Amino acid sequence: MAVKELFPGVYGFRRNIASLNNTPGFRVYDEKLIKKKGKEYRLWDPYRSKLSAAVLKGLKSFPFREDSNVLYLGASSGTTPSHLSDVCFRGFVYCVELSRRMMRELMPVTMKKKNMIPILADANRPQEYMHAISSVDVIYQDVAQKNQSEILLKNAEYFRPEHALLLIKARSINAVESPKKVFRKEINQLKNDFTVLETIDLRPYDKDHVLVNLKRK
């Protein structure tokens, strides 16, 4: 099986993708480890990570580089952040998480993957964690809140990233309105500050979710 690099640090394995493990032997969520020519890859599950789902659904522009600094809002127990830690192995992944319970699960991951920096905070209040962060190239946001675009705009104002990836969950914003309408309204709020590069529907991996790929104006 040949290993093809699809984007910097993202490798295709048959119908799946993987990242190059920066902590060989260490698994984060029971993902499969594959050894090839002296390197170890971690399979990147599209049902567990919306970024993997977006790549498999044809994401065209991947904003992460090996030295990117990422502000990750809604890090949870570290599934997707851990793959970004592999991809951006010369940068930092600042993992903002509101829930103490998820933070307890995230901590052991950040002890191993040293470029992941845990931050227990509310993504609505960037002023409370800006001191812990030097510079940000990309904001990745996956928080199930009613004001998803507003949270991104607040953080973009403080950190001025070049790119942002926003995961919008329609049901968290409005459970009765059609998801299409909800997505349109949220994306419209961003248009003064960002150019929309692409919007990816994540079905069948995740329903009611889109990934919006944004470049700051």
Residues in contact with ligand SAM by the rule CB under 6 A = 49-50, 73-74, 76, 79-80, 96-99, 102, 122-124, 142-145
Q: What is the C-alpha separation between 20 and 67, in angstroms, rounded?
A: 15
Q: Please, which residue, 78 or 91, has the CB nearer to ligand SAM?
A: 78
As measured in angstroms, the least distance from the Cβ of 86 to ligand SAM is 13
As measured in angstroms, the least distance from the Cβ of 194 to ligand SAM is 20
Residues in CB range of 99: below 8 A, 6 or more apart: 76
Position closest to ligand SAM via CB: 74
Q: Please, which residue, 143 or 202, has the CB nearer to ligand SAM?
A: 143
- Closest to 183 in 3D by CA, of 201, 162, 165: 201
**Strand pairing report for 16-20 and 39-44:** antiparallel
Residue carrying structure tokens 């993202």: 10
Q: Please, which residue, 50 or 69, has the CB nearer to ligand SAM?
A: 50
As measured in angstroms, the least distance from the Cβ of 211 to ligand SAM is 11
Chain mean position to CA 194: 18
